[in-house]
Amino acid sequence: MSSPVSIQDGPFASNTLVSKKFLLIHIFIIWGSILPVIIELYAFWKFVDENSIFFYFLLPFQICIIYLILIISSAILSKILLGIIKLIHQPKEGIFNKDKNDKDYYFWSLRAVVKKWPIWLSNLIPSSFIKNLMLKILGIRTDYSNKIFSGNIDVEFIELGKNIIIGQGSSIKSSMILQGHLIIKKVIIEDNVIIGSNSFIAPGTHIGSNMTLDSMSVTKIHQIFDPLSSHNQNLPEEIHKSSSDFFLNLNDGELKKNSNTSLNPEDKFVKDLTYNITTFGFIYFCSNFIPILGIIYFCKEYFFPFCLNSPNFFQILINIQSFLIFLITPLFLIFLILINLFTVIFITKVFYKIIQYKNPAIEGSFHWNNKNQDFNSYFKRSFILRYAKWKIQKSSFPWLIKPAFNFIGNCYFGKKTVIENSYVAKEFLKVGENSYIGKTLLANHLWDKNLTIKGITIGDNVNISDNCCIAPGTEIENGVSLLPLSVTSKYEKLTSISVSIHSPIKTLPEEELIRIINYRLGDNRED
């Protein structure tokens, strides 16, 4: 399974938002981390003449310094707040109800929000040094020799040794949502460990030194691996029956051997360069026009005269107007970021409705040798929606993905549903209430003999773990849980209140669930 570019790799904090009031704390951390940047910018402005060549020579280095200050200041501020939260409610391991009335679940979500901004900053650059630095400040045991920028790593109850390599798309999770419960268990990875790509390290796993874990492996809760070993932790053969040489026939829904039909990739896609450049350019220009004008006006009328041009920084602190501008500047920048996101969402909705008016979106099966109007319209809609989805998920406010897509009208997400930084289908997706969608792939289209465009329906209280792949036409009823690396076939239907796993998908009885991931239903004890 590939890792789409829309999924962020690196340290990870859940998008679970138990209370919308937590967003005020998120904004406060952003605000507080920008203030040291303004102080450093003032020092740079006074040190270098803005009209000199020296100013432009040092400007790239100044940008790097600003980035490091943002990371360090945000991580320190988050650590201070985490210390305060720890005094109110001590983080602990265990199995807790996925309910806001459960204090452990409530404060787990709060801790995730507090860490969101420094984690987002550290993930902007694919640097293990930056990520290890941020983790160290937040109190995670790690080492600068660890290559962790390609994996999704929780930022609490994690202990990392030295010289660890984590493969692309792998998840190291000390917390896991399963069957309406939050599981929190410490993960320990010792020195010289290699974890293959797209693996899932479950809560409580202890991996000994000098061990290698194969790609697409799934560990059990509380599983212990001895040092100096190599393991293939793919699920048992009777469950993991390879389906790589099969595909689901569109006409009769039966599994058949994959034919060696030659495909010409040059003919499969609709390539309208003029349309793509024009629409993207319009959205990009309009969404950035107001923020850029706002920055220019604010800097010219307020920031430069009252802050940067003050004779000394002490003058800024004692002058009420200068001090207020100093405090308001970060909030104004946050406001412009939100304006940029809201403009992208609004323009995307307008374009999407225009395309829908000309040719309403329909589901079906289309062959690229017959590029009819429905086939062409799908690619136009997909291109329009792609930038909005990418923009929101890559932003520091990923929680907007639900209201944005609900507003655009192409998808629906119910209340209390959590969407992690996943590859989310851009159309024909309906998710019920109180469901959890981990770092996974929800695909509303699939290429084989034809292009299949079919919606995905996910019911209430559904839990989909990391590294899963949900195919077009899948229907998941209420209360279903999908374990890591589960893959559905087209038109799959999973019945309510069940636990399913792998490919081809299979519902597990309780005793099988205990054997595979060391988790018991009902009383929620680990064996």
Each domain of the chain, given as residue ranges in start order, spans 10-239
36 band by pLDDT with thresholds 50, 70 and 90 = very high
Q: How far apart are CA 69 and CA 153, in angstroms?
A: 23
248 band by pLDDT with thresholds 50, 70 and 90 = very low
* Segment 368-389 mean pLDDT: 85
Q: What is the pLDDT of residue 322?
A: 92
Q: Is the pLDDT of residue 336 over 50?
A: yes
18-32, 456-470, 489-503: range with lowest mean pLDDT: 489-503
Q: Is the pLDDT of residue 77 over 80?
A: yes
* Segment 26-35 mean pLDDT: 96
Q: What is the pLDDT of residue 8?
A: 52
Q: What is the pLDDT of residue 46?
A: 81
Q: What is the pLDDT of residue 231?
A: 60
Look over the chain and give the mean of its residue pLDDT values, rounded to a whole number: 84
What pLDDT digit, counting tens, does each position of 130-151 carry?
Answer: 889 888 888 889 999 998 877 8
Q: Is the pLDDT of residue 260 over 60?
A: no
Q: Which of 250, 268, 267, 271 is nearest to 259 (CA)?
A: 250
- Based on DSSP, count helices (H) and strands (E) in the chain, helices before strands: 11, 33
Can you name the CATH fold of 10-239? UDP N-Acetylglucosamine Acyltransferase; domain 1 (2.160.10)
* Residue % of the chain over a pLDDT of 70: 84
What are the CB-based long-range contacts (under 8 Å, 24+) for 98-105? 98/177, 98/180, 98/181, 98/182, 98/434, 98/436, 100/18, 100/19, 102/182, 104/182, 104/184, 105/18, 105/182
Q: Half-sphere exposure of 471 toward its Cβ, with a 13 Å CA cutoff? A: 23
Q: How far apart are CA 373 and CA 359, in angstroms?
A: 8
* Residues 6 or more apart in contact with residue 474 via CB below 8 angstroms: 456, 457, 488, 490, 491, 492, 493, 494
What pLDDT digit, counting tens, does each position of 92-145 carry?
Answer: 999 999 999 999 999 999 999 999 999 999 988 888 888 898 888 888 899 999
Q: What is the DSSP string of 78-127?
A: HHHHHHHHHHHS----EEEESSTTSHHHHHHHHHHHHHHHHHHHHTTS--
- DSSP run (H or E) holding 177: strand 175-178
Q: Which of 340, 336, 341, 310 is nearest to 325 (CA)?
A: 310
What pLDDT digit, counting tens, does each position of 190-235 carry?
Answer: 999 999 888 899 999 999 999 988 888 888 888 888 876 666 655 4
Q: Is the pLDDT of residue 258 over 70?
A: no
